[in-house]
Structure 1
Amino acid sequence: MSKDMLLWDETLFKNGEVLELDHVPEYFAHRDSQMQALKFSLKPAMRGMRPVNCLVKGPPGTGKTTAVLKVFSEMKEHTDRVSFVKVNCQMDSTRFAVVSRIYEKLVNIKPPTSGVAFRKLFDKVIKQLVDSNKILVVALDDINYLFHEGHADEIMYSLLRAHEQYPGVKIAVIAIISDVGVSHHFDPRVGSVFLPEEIEFPRYDAEEIRDIISNRVQHAFYQDVVPDEVCDKVVEYVDYTGDLRVGIDLLRRSGLNAERRASRTISMEDVEKAYDASRLLYLCRSIRSLTENERTLLKLVAEQEKDVQAGDLYKSFHEITGLGYTRFYEIIEKMNATQMLDVDFSGKGMRGRTRVIKAKHNPQDILKCLEY
């Protein structure tokens, strides 16, 4: 057997865990000012005071969630007076789901998924905080997904004004919002009590990307598995997409491709092959968060060879789902707001205002993600 071929029990990965997307790395560089801003805002909790709310903003894959989790982890080592909860709003996308997740984190018991009113469950969360005499800090990660149907304002209002109904309760919110080209604004009644410290996370520049990727390579793989030119290629792809997660996923997939070939090193071909899947990482995650009816609508649009008029699209959608036009219209509006669909008006039609709908992303990419 060639010395370049892997044996059955051999692997290229020294510690593959550092290439998992939910891994919180020990080495977290180039975000010092953002980390300091978060720590300063949450520091009052160490003295039993209500922390300052935060609005954490920036493009996908710029370290927002990791920074918050790192600060949470550091603070847990120095106090037991604070309960830290992170909610993934892409998965928990209603106010009931958000409060259910908070309740589960506080008492280690999942509440019933139905038959319990929001107010009753929220009261239980507050009672737990009162009984344990703890401050609650909630990170609403990807809060973008709560905006369209008003859930963002509802949950923010409930959390931020809880102290008015329950004196002594202290709750702070860190809203993490991904800048994907759509501006989101809270209702004025939320804004008047939110008053956050705004913390911006810009895109990493090329040198910062190189440093972070090199560090992950060093910890994830055995020596000499990743040639310099391969590392350069990964950095190039991350710089192009602006999303560090693409690079981390790309390293993982490239390593698996090399192992499949029984090779001891990752080649450029391994990277190129892996990129086709890694570049769709954010799109596929977004599509997975859609409901079945929303995915049905997206698929109908992506399968069209040209732009489709709303009336024609509704007929096809109704035949499959049985849903009425009102719900169809609501889904169209939501997917337009979340940058899945592009909705415009043509000059055609009896009143000159026919809606024309097309996919915001490459239709073939959408169909590929729908298959995953």
Structure 2
Amino acid sequence: MSKLKRLHQVLDTMRLPNGAYIASPSDDYSYVWIRDVGYTVLPYLTTPCNRYEKAMHALLDLFRRYEWKIDIHTQRKPVHLYEYIHARYDKDLTEIKEPWGHAQNDAIGLFIWNIAQGIRHRKAVLRDEKDREILQKLVWYLACVEYWDHPDNGMWEENREVHASSVGAVVAGLQAIRLLVDVPEDLIRKGQQTLSLILPRESITKETDLALLSLIYPYQVVERGMAQRILKNVTTKLERTYGCIRYEGDQYYNHGKEAEWCFGFPWLGLCHAVLGNRQQAQEYWQKTLYLLPDDGRMPELYIGGTNRPNGNTPLAWAVAMVLLLKQHMSAAGEESSEAAAG
């Protein structure tokens, strides 16, 4: 069996009957994150199967279920974290009562962007007028929270501050969806102004962060010069043996050193691919293959200071990143090694 087919099979083991995906079959990650689903289905954006639209339908159903909450916070800013659109859900797509850092504007921006990409690729992601209405309400939700100046928990669900990666995700989503729903130009402009003030930093406390790669891939919301600055900062400060650390001083799975996230390598490869840097993309493809187990179960990370992956193996997001880089390399006509043959 080819590695490519095996990777798809690994993703299918984390796909739920409702079309969504759990982040990992581990005890800690056996939940549905809006963000993780958004990244996990990207390999299916350009394929004839229905996995992409089914995942979007599942998330739209989720938003329909909690439309009452969205309605409230299109008029009144959330105060408590539980008032925000939740970031993660149980397998039946119901909210989990456990306290969590739910202020994650990037997840909503990604979802809106996902829908726009699905339409662009002629996927039947919208079923009826109600789905379009939900999209419109999500736009008003982001306006109400004032995403451009809003301290959120960010991609890593940690301390609240204004994150460039969160602002950029929303800008990308709003730009992509503005022909389908009402998006005031001022709503986009405010986010762009924030990016011009923060970048190439991620936030006040973080000079650079792995999350910034999202502004290059998949969103492509920064001009080439800024993209190159971000890439240089990430590779020189965050790249390690088994991937990339998320940011300097990260305490998650830190055993004397920061944990090394495996999807850092394919993500860097994807960024170079969209910038047309074929040689660098090929180099990161080879680094990705070095990490990829024969069974395709790409881990979340290697525990800091060790050569051991953690228990969140496989991580759906990481498996998807490998598939995406493979697709880009194939589309560019690059020949991979025998280990990558699909």
For the superposition of Structure 1 and Structure 2, which TM-score range results when normalised by the shorter chain?
Answer: under 0.3
The structure in which a higher percent of residues are strand is: 1
Structure number with larger C-alpha Rg: 1
